[in-house]
Structure 1
Amino acid sequence: MRSIGIYLAAGESKRMGNDKRFLLLNEQPLGSIVFKNALLSKIDHLVVVTRISDSLEWLPSFVFSAPYSCKWSQIECAEASKGQGHSLKSGVKKAIEIGADAVIILLADQPFVTTEVINTLLNSYQNEPNYFFFAAANDILPMPPILFSKICFPYLLQLNGDQGLRTVIREKLFNSGKMIAFQDEMLFFDIDTVEDYEILQNHEHERGE
């Protein structure tokens, strides 16, 4: 099974007011944390979806050198400003081009998604390939990261505007997938606003005490 990660990093950070990928968490740019965890996982290749002319300065320098540089590639989405659905489609199209049997959708602003979480989704699909998707679950709600088998690709390619993954699952695939409950409640925490970032900093400070 060839698994491709799709790393969505093309958002405009409008609610934050500045590029949240550069926000520091434990002295690391926020956008680089899950990126590194994905590179260390069992994913075969990672497709990073960005806006046009993204400098990638939010990524650590080591990922541009061997052996890591061959494990990822960048896709620039000209329609990223029209909504996440367009970024998703760009990533899925690239994944299909490089022979994906499954994709895992990852968000650049979810810093608590670990290599172990990613590998759990991959292992689950390898053990039970009849399911169309595997989703991390917050109670009964599917949340990223989410693995989709290639049978789901046509549905993902139909997304537009701000339509997201839950739209596909709720309207097309709900009874065809499996939810996986993770114990860490912070797994699903994403950073959209200054208040979110303050909560994140306080959480990390308390954990370090």
Structure 2
Amino acid sequence: MTERDTANLEAIVLAAGASARFGGAKLLARLDGAPLVAGALLTAFLSPVRRVHVAVAGDAVRKVVRATAERLAASDRLTIVTVEDAAEGMGASLRAAARALPDDAVGTFVFLGDMPRIDPATVTTLARVLTSPHDIVAPTYLGRRGHPVLFGASWFPALRALSGDEGARVLLETAGARLTRVAVEDPGIHLDVDRPEDLARAVEGRA
């Protein structure tokens, strides 16, 4: 994808989960002196995208998202998407955020708000690999797929029709040859914080 095309990429950050396995308020837990969700937001804002669309369900996370964007001098690139039916699962959050994407976008990254250690260089690599609106690009580390995933614009209707708690997994499983896997040296693509012990791993710098 050319530099001109990457200017029409967008980013989605999913930050509306209930954090049940963590015991609640996961995205507000402290990491590196800031709320956990700030790590994902930092990578998203450092990505080659126009805007970052953050799906939220609660006021506390919404305030943190706004404050983080202000701290990064990126408020003009932030779109907050309120997920009214967040209890349905990740599919509802992704559906709501995808519906906020502009019509001229050529693709969108999907970040998870509980993945704070993704190297921004990984995201830039994925952007360069996307060559068709019909493709999906995902990073791998040690042979295992991780996040974020970059969806070409042809996948937007499918993202806007998702439901349940599986997110976009079904799309990845059925993409076939349209899914391009890119090997990267970035263990952060696997480090998601689901439980308190995962946060301890992130603090210690272990993937």
Partner Cα distance (1:24, 1:54) in 2? 14
Matches of residues 74-93 of structure 1 in structure 2 within 5 Å? 74-93=80-99
Partner Cα distance (2:27, 2:133) in 1? 36
Deviation at 1:33, TM superposition (A): 1.2
The answer as to whether partners of 1:80 and 1:87 remain within 8 angstroms in 2 is yes
The count of corresponding residues between Structure 1 and Structure 2 is: 201
Deviation at 1:174, TM superposition (A): 2.2
Q: Alpha carbons of 1:157 and 1:140: their partners in 2 closer, same or farther (altered >3 Å)?
A: farther
Q: 2:121 aligns with which of 97, 116, 120?
A: 116
Q: Structure 1 residue 163 and structure 2 residue 166: aligned?
A: yes
Partner Cα distance (2:195, 2:10) in 1? 29
Q: 1:50 aligns with which of 56, 70, 80?
A: 56
Partner Cα distance (2:14, 2:135) in 1? 21
Partner Cα distance (1:44, 1:60) in 2? 17
The corresponding residue for 1:105 is: 110
The answer as to whether partners of 2:141 and 2:185 remain within 8 angstroms in 1 is no
Deviation at 1:42, TM superposition (A): 1.3
TM-score w.r.t. length of structure 2 = 0.87
Partner Cα distance (2:31, 2:50) in 1? 27
The answer as to whether partners of 1:85 and 1:163 remain within 8 angstroms in 2 is yes
State the one-letter code of the partner of 2:146.
M
Q: Structure 1 residue 63 and structure 2 residue 69: aligned?
A: yes
Deviation at 1:39, TM superposition (A): 1.2
Deviation at 1:168, TM superposition (A): 0.7
The answer as to whether partners of 1:32 and 1:60 remain within 8 angstroms in 2 is no
Q: Alpha carbons of 1:62 and 1:110: their partners in 2 closer, same or farther (altered >3 Å)?
A: closer
State the one-letter code of the partner of 1:113.
I
The corresponding residue for 2:29 is: 23
Deviation at 1:85, TM superposition (A): 0.3
The corresponding residue for 2:183 is: 181
The answer as to whether partners of 2:91 and 2:165 remain within 8 angstroms in 1 is yes
Q: Unaligned stretches of 5+ in structure 2?
A: none
Partner Cα distance (1:193, 1:46) in 2? 26
Q: Alpha carbons of 1:119 and 1:159: their partners in 2 closer, same or farther (altered >3 Å)?
A: same
State the one-letter code of the partner of 1:111.
P
Partner Cα distance (2:147, 2:68) in 1? 26
Q: Structure 1 residue 152 and structure 2 residue 155: aligned?
A: yes
Name the SS of the counterpart of 1:178 in structure 2. Answer: strand
Q: Structure 1 residue 94 and structure 2 residue 100: aligned?
A: yes
Partner Cα distance (2:116, 2:96) in 1? 23
- Structure 1 vs Structure 2 CA RMSD: 2.3
State the one-letter code of the partner of 2:115.
Q
State the one-letter code of the partner of 1:87.
S
TM-score w.r.t. length of structure 1 = 0.86
The corresponding residue for 2:38 is: 32
Deviation at 1:189, TM superposition (A): 0.8
Deviation at 1:23, TM superposition (A): 1.5
Query: Any idea what the Cα deviations from partners look like across 1:44-73, whole Å, max 9, x if unmatched?
Result: 111010005455333473623795111111
The answer as to whether partners of 2:11 and 2:53 remain within 8 angstroms in 1 is yes
Name the SS of the counterpart of 1:48 in structure 2. Answer: strand
Partner Cα distance (2:61, 2:200) in 1? 26
State the one-letter code of the partner of 2:205.
H
The answer as to whether partners of 2:16 and 2:56 remain within 8 angstroms in 1 is yes
The answer as to whether partners of 1:34 and 1:114 remain within 8 angstroms in 2 is no
Name the SS of the counterpart of 2:177 in structure 1. Answer: helix
